[in-house]
Structure 1
Amino acid sequence: MATLARKVLKIALFIGLFLISVRYIPLSSEWSASEAHAWWRASDWLGVGDPDDLYFVFWVTIELIVAALAYLAIIKIWRWYRTN
């Protein structure tokens, strides 16, 4: 029962970290001409119709990586704290 509670807590921690990081995605629709050109070229190259979709997926991926790194850091610090 304790291992199930630990797993649920770890999953909740990761989801919480991800939701906190996704909340701060810079959803800016105001791009400079060079930025817009770069996003259009990248979306054409990847076959995505709208560059805003590519922009959103790009930032969600970055936030997922940030949440995973924060999760790993918290777990490592917690284990270090418990051994001391």
Structure 2
Amino acid sequence: MATLARRLFKVALFLALFVLSVLYVRPHRYEWTERESNAYWAASDWLGVRDPDDVYYVVWVTIELIVATLAYVAIMKLWRWYRTKH
């Protein structure tokens, strides 16, 4: 039972970190600069995606997952270090 509780806590922690990264990491600009627009159009053409907004969302979800994963790993390492010290 304790193992299940620990696993559920870890899943909840990761989901909470992901939600926080969605809220605070993504740039909330709605207009792209000309360079950004050209880059997203080129990437969407290269990938065969019709809409560059789709590429934009995939890029930012990937970045947010990386941020959430790094935060999760850091919290787990700090927790293990804290438990070995006490």
Stretches of 4+ aligned residues off by more than 6 angstroms: none
Residues 19-72 of structure 1: CA deviation (Å, up to 9, x unaligned): 110123224331121221111011010011111110011010011011011000
Query: What is the CA–CA distance in structure 1 between the aligned matches of 2:27 and 2:33, rounded to whole Å?
Result: 15
Give the TM-score taking structure 1 as reference length: 0.93
Query: What is the CA–CA distance in structure 1 between the aligned matches of 2:66 and 2:75, rounded to whole Å?
Result: 14
Query: What is the CA–CA distance in structure 1 between the aligned matches of 2:7 and 2:39, rounded to whole Å?
Result: 42
Unaligned runs of 5+ in 1: none
Size of the aligned set, in residue pairs, is 84
Summarize the Cα distance change of 1:7–1:13 in structure 2 as closer, same or farther, 3 Å threshold: same
Query: What is the CA–CA distance in structure 1 between the aligned matches of 2:53 and 2:27, rounded to whole Å?
Result: 12
C-alpha RMSD over aligned residues: 1.0
Identity over the aligned pairs, expressed in percent? 65
Unaligned runs of 5+ in 2: none
